[in-house]
Amino acid sequence: MSRAQVEERVFGVLRWVVIAFLALITLAPFYYMLLLSVKPIDALLLDPGNLWVSARDFTLDTYREVLKPTSEGGQGFVGMLTNSALVSLGTVALTLLAAVPGAYAISRLKFFGGRHVSVLFLAVYLFPATLLAVPLFVMFAKMGLQGSLAGLAIVYIAQTVPVSIYMMKNYFVTIPLSIEEAAALDGCTRLQAVRKVVLPLALPSLMATGLYIFMIAWNEFLFALLFLAAEPDRWTVSLGLQQLAGGIEVSKTVLMAGSVVLTIPVVLLFFAAERLLTEGLTSGADKA
Amino acid sequence: MTRADSGAERRRGRPLTARARENRAGLAFVTPTFLVVLVVVVLPILWTVLLAFQNARLVDIQGMGLFGNWTLDNFDSVFGSPGFWTSLLTTLGYTVGATAGSILLGLVAALALRRPFRGRGPLRAAMLLPYVAPVVAVAFVWEIALSPQFGIVNEWGTKLLGWDQPIAFLSTRAYEVSVLGMEFELPLALLTVIAFETWRYFPFAFLFLLARLQAVPDGLEEAATVDGATITQRFRHILLPQLMPVIALLSVLRFIMTFNKFDDVYLLTGGGSGTDVVAVRVYEFLTARYDVGAAAAQALVLALILMVLLGLYFTFFAKKVQEEA
């Protein structure tokens, strides 16, 4: 057999091994999460290696306990879900509002300092979140915004503006200039042309960007920890789960139910818009 | 008539040229975004620089002005504090390991999923799960799965793989292994954290690499096949050069992100057992000691080191990659 044939065989087999391996490492942890979330803690302690849950053990009490408000002896995840949703939606609105004009200007218009500004927007990523954490922590302590959800949403803008500008800029470039010129001939001002022509055309990109921002805000942990740790009423789901996981009072399977509750909204959103998202993020990578 | 017109024009100034109008519109559109970035990013960073040179603790900051109280003590306490240099070394090891790991696994995945097969779509989507799922949730799952008391990994390891006793993956600083009679010490907790980071971010590399792979024209590879190139040769001489710019870009991006990473390490080990990366130290300075100045100095040092590393990269390697590509 020639070298080419040997390699053909070896890699033909290897490819399926790799595919199976990838499926295992990506799905197994999530299966494990779901599995433990419907077991009572005794069943887990009795047989930690079990990959199945028997009909006798199957329970949804874990979910009941994790969702019930703390006043009724639960862990209050419904309240935390509301907090997370408020912060995330607020961040989406604020970031889009802040990023759309800049992305449009950078992609469409030649203006003084334009290139420097677009470099600056990307350079923001060079600076670690920890570098921002210190002054924001101090500033919020000073302004009394510590422990407020609105303050958190403002902080998240810093995390999401650069990538939003980048994603939308890539899309704006693909909208033909002539459409805007036609609008201008019909008497639109530039602002009207953007609002009535460009933005509707860029709707897929706006949605993808919005979803991405939502996911970043929903999953964020460091700033929630810094600003909200002392205020259990305002905990986001991420923070609540981490804080409870540190203690020993709440059983692990109940917290697993909490993990599922935390994960599901993001995963659902993601699968609803997978195409949109992955293309928005990697557009340009194939041209590089 | 004409006179009146020109008079009016002179009063309003000359009509703007198209370019000038575009310039104005551009500035008008970019200003709101610029202001937001200025307020939430640029000004805080500048303030960090100031704070790093000030004697500032959270209690006195209320009454403190923006300037004054200058001192270099913060840098003394950063460089002089025990464990700073090992922590820096840990950060580097963690960053290099996780960056290389995630890109390598992403590349393998992209190559395996390059050609269509049944179920590729669902698998491709499922593979993005580690990247999109909330870090707190997945870190918790790893923590439970690796737990020495009721974790599935240790249960199976002791039952099926014949481990003598459960391994505390997340709290073992040095794990002794003997290979061929030689004793090694593995930094087990650090390796576990690197594995977690690799697992969580390989989908990111996978996405970019797959997009690039699918843009490689088929003709190139076909021609090479006709000339008798084997799979490894085609990969080495055709695909890899095409992928190199994307790999370089990914390396830089992942390096920056991982170097500053806080969540993953903090959630898994709390920075203990030989995983005390600098980002976690900044957090400790800030919340445990309320020493704002020292925290700022530490964050600043971290950012400067990152910039030096990136500067080195761009002067020495970026050109080379460009030439090869």
- Confidence grade of residue A191 (pLDDT, cut at 50, 70, 90): confident
Q: Please give the average per-residue pLDDT across B276-298, as a whole number.
A: 82
- What is the distance in angstroms between the Cα of A71 and the nearest Cα belonging to chain B? 24
A102 vs B33: CB contact, 8 Å cut-off? yes
CATH fit for domain A71-282, picks 2.60.120.330, 3.50.50.60, 1.10.1740.10, 1.10.3720.10: 1.10.3720.10
Q: What is the reported pLDDT for A3?
A: 81
B27 vs A112: CB contact, 8 Å cut-off? yes
Give the mutation candidate from A134, A156, A221, A228 for the B interface (greatest B CB count, under 10 A): A134
| Residue spans of alpha helices (H) in chain A | 3-37, 41-46, 61-67, 77-108, 114-123, 129-143, 149-172, 177-185, 190-193, 199-201, 203-219, 222-228, 237-246, 252-272, 274-282
Q: What is the reported pLDDT for B9?
A: 46
Q: Which of residues 72-91 of A touch B (CB under 8 A)?
A: none
- pTM of the entire predicted model: 0.86
Q: What is the reported pLDDT for B319?
A: 64
Give contacts of A136 with chain B, Cβ < 8 Å. 44
- Confidence grade of residue A88 (pLDDT, cut at 50, 70, 90): very high
Judged against a pLDDT cut of 80, whether residue B127 lies above it is answered with yes
ipTM: 0.87
Q: Please give the average per-residue pLDDT across A255-280, as a whole number.
A: 84
Nearest CA in chain A to B279: A130
Mapped onto helix, strand or coil, the DSSP state of residue B53 is coil
- What is the distance in angstroms between the Cα of B51 and the nearest Cα belonging to chain A? 8
The two tokens of residue B31 are: 């200003």
B129 vs A226: CB contact, 8 Å cut-off? no
Judged against a pLDDT cut of 70, whether residue B91 lies above it is answered with yes
Of B19, B41, B199, which is closest to A124 when you measure between CB atoms?
B41
End-to-end CA distance of chain B: 65
* Annotated domain spans of chain B: 83-131+190-288
Query: Between the CA of residue B284 and those of A212, B278, B299, B322, what are the distances in Å?
Result: 30, 10, 12, 41
Q: What is the reported pLDDT for A43?
A: 80
Q: What is the reported pLDDT for B101?
A: 96
> Domain B83-131+190-288 carries which CATH code?
1.10.3720.10
Of A51, A267, A281, which is closest to B207 when you measure between CB atoms?
A281
pLDDT tens per residue across span A15-40: 999 999 999 999 999 999 999 888 88
pLDDT tens per residue across span A103-152: 888 888 888 877 777 777 777 776 777 778 778 877 777 777 777 888 88
Residue with tokens 């039952």: B159
The two tokens of residue A51 are: 């990959």
Q: What is the reported pLDDT for B140?
A: 93
Give A75's DSSP letter: -
Judged against a pLDDT cut of 90, whether residue B200 lies above it is answered with yes
B29 vs A105: CB contact, 8 Å cut-off? yes
* Annotated domain spans of chain A: 3-67, 71-282
CB-based burial, B121-142: b 16+ in 10 Å, e otherwise? eebbebbbbbbbbbbbbbbbbb
Q: Which of residues 38-67 of B touch A (CB under 8 A)?
A: 40-45, 47-48, 51, 56, 58, 61-62
Give the mutation candidate from A91, A131, A259, A282 for the B interface (greatest B CB count, under 10 A): A131
What is the C-alpha separation between B279 and A176, in angstroms, rounded?
44
For B147, residues 6+ apart whose C-beta sits below 8 A from its C-beta are: B154
The two tokens of residue A144 are: 């009394």
Give A71's DSSP letter: G
